[in-house]
Structure 1
């Protein structure tokens, strides 16, 4: 199988690379629920749009698991695992096939001519960076997205039970926009809004301070959860759903469709151009 042409030096830092099997299963499940059309789309002749797993770690488990899950929707889906550590890439190469590839790269994705990314997953990658580096890293990553493509970037606990992620969409004019902040739990560690705070992505983890958007949101969710705590007797899922509805009634733009909530996904719908600072604060649409 031919190797891709020599790329410019990968941008980024080597991660710890410790990823448990199935840690990111719920991320893939959410993507299938949230935008199945993007997964199912057919590439034009001669073009390839990948699902990209950025920073898959010491072993290529997360990339291979994603390929298996997402190909239930699209058996022909091209999948690309990207790592900045050459040894990790070498270890992954024996797992390649005609639809699954592994390449050395960083935020500047190692894409060939007529290749792009339709979906990019980057988990536990930016947590080790300084906050001021986050915006540029995601804009660089977004340069490889096709119009309409999606980035999901966030932080998960070691087992993938609790995580929080930014959703970013590339618009037709080429600008990268914030689409929401997503909270996910499988309820194995209970539920209350405070359990998500240690897993906030890098753009918010240090901003739990009075006057900050994320602080106001989390405090409102805690208020909503307290107001609906009687529902807890019916189960944690029911309490989670009830807290989301109460949060909406407090004026916060959250997704309240029953199916995502029942599965433990709460989407705070946000909007703004990344280059204008929308990762850190709310901006007019």
Structure 2
């Protein structure tokens, strides 16, 4: 994916009508962010349905093709039909290429960066940033999070994370206006040898801290241990083994979801337990 990139240790500031950031890689693909979208639709469902006015969602840095914004729009509209999704890209050519897929006012595309250009300075109920910040220096992540959280509407959510090329393995951080809240691990369970394989998809804020003595390493170690102990459940399928694994680690880690989400191949933990 592509999005505004921080070339050094802090986000570039826009000057005049120049978006904040620079162009990064633009690779993307259809259905790549389905696991993240599914979680977002669940987590934001109450806020989407209860909003008095049509809420706005932003796909920040959708890439060289608009598929992720198109899919996000469709998935959110299944929850709230009048939700307005805005795909934001920093490169004008990518915005132009996306325009034939627009469905105003429900799906639009515009040029922009971390300033998140919305009409009238409107706040977004959702800002999604996928496969972007892993391309930055770690020192840039905190300032970018703070900048984007400042563009959220009350009750809004910033979701930032990384997945593999076809969306089988994904890890993301969810943040509210006050900062990070949770970390979610999501995977296609068939073919998963051990949960710690998700470590290669940790967001930039965590990936360099997956070393002995750090919380995220301890968590993944415990997850592998529980997965191994749950091997007998594999006779009933990978899903049942994952559910048993999640149940086990929930006894010693602050897991915030339950069986309904575990069945989806997800596990969500409080950010404070894994924070560097």
Structure 1 stretches of 4+ moved >6 Å: none
Report the Cα distance in structure 2 between the residues aligned to 1:28 and 1:188, rounded to whole angstroms. Answer: 20
Of 116, 123, 127, the match for 2:130: 123
1:103-132 CA-to-partner distances (Å, cap 9, x unmatched) read: 111111112215111011111010110000
2:28 paired with 1:19:
yes
1:103 alignment counterpart? 110
2:258 alignment counterpart? 257
2:80 alignment counterpart? 74
1:59-104 CA-to-partner distances (Å, cap 9, x unmatched) read: 1111111111110111100110011111101111232222211111
Of 87, 91, 111, the match for 2:97: 91
Report the Cα distance in structure 1 between the residues aligned to 2:257 and 2:36, rounded to whole angstroms. Answer: 19
Of 11, 15, 18, the match for 1:9: 18
Of 42, 52, 55, the match for 1:33: 42
1:275 alignment counterpart? none
Q: Secondary structure at the match of 1:98?
A: coil
2:184 alignment counterpart? 182
* Alignment map for 1:225-236 (pairs within 5 Å): 225-236=227-238
**Contact (CA 8 Å) 1:161, 1:189: kept in 2 or not?**
no
* TM-score (normalised: structure 2): 0.89
The 10-residue stretch of structure 1 (227-236 or 6-15) with the greater mean CA deviation from structure 2: 6-15
**Contact (CA 8 Å) 1:49, 1:115: kept in 2 or not?**
no
Shift of 1:181: 0.5
The 10-residue stretch of structure 1 (197-206 or 210-219) with the greater mean CA deviation from structure 2: 210-219
Judging changes above 3 Å, is the alpha-carbon distance between structure 1 residues 78 and 41 closer, same or farther for their aligned structure 2 residues? farther
**Contact (CA 8 Å) 1:123, 1:153: kept in 2 or not?**
yes
1:14-38 CA-to-partner distances (Å, cap 9, x unmatched) read: 2311111111112111112223012
**Contact (CA 8 Å) 2:159, 2:172: kept in 1 or not?**
yes
Report the Cα distance in structure 1 between the residues aligned to 2:275 and 2:187, rounded to whole angstroms. Answer: 23
1:113 alignment counterpart? 120
* TM-score (normalised: structure 1): 0.86
**Contact (CA 8 Å) 2:170, 2:186: kept in 1 or not?**
yes
Unaligned runs of 5+ in 1: 1-5, 171-175, 272-277
**Contact (CA 8 Å) 1:178, 1:279: kept in 2 or not?**
no
**Contact (CA 8 Å) 2:21, 2:90: kept in 1 or not?**
yes
Let me know the Cα RMSD of the aligned residues: 1.9
1:196-242 CA-to-partner distances (Å, cap 9, x unmatched) read: 01000001111111221111111111122122222122211111111
1:42 alignment counterpart? 51
Judging changes above 3 Å, is the alpha-carbon distance between structure 1 residues 12 and 188 closer, same or farther for their aligned structure 2 residues? farther
Unaligned runs of 5+ in 2: 1-14
Aligned length: 261
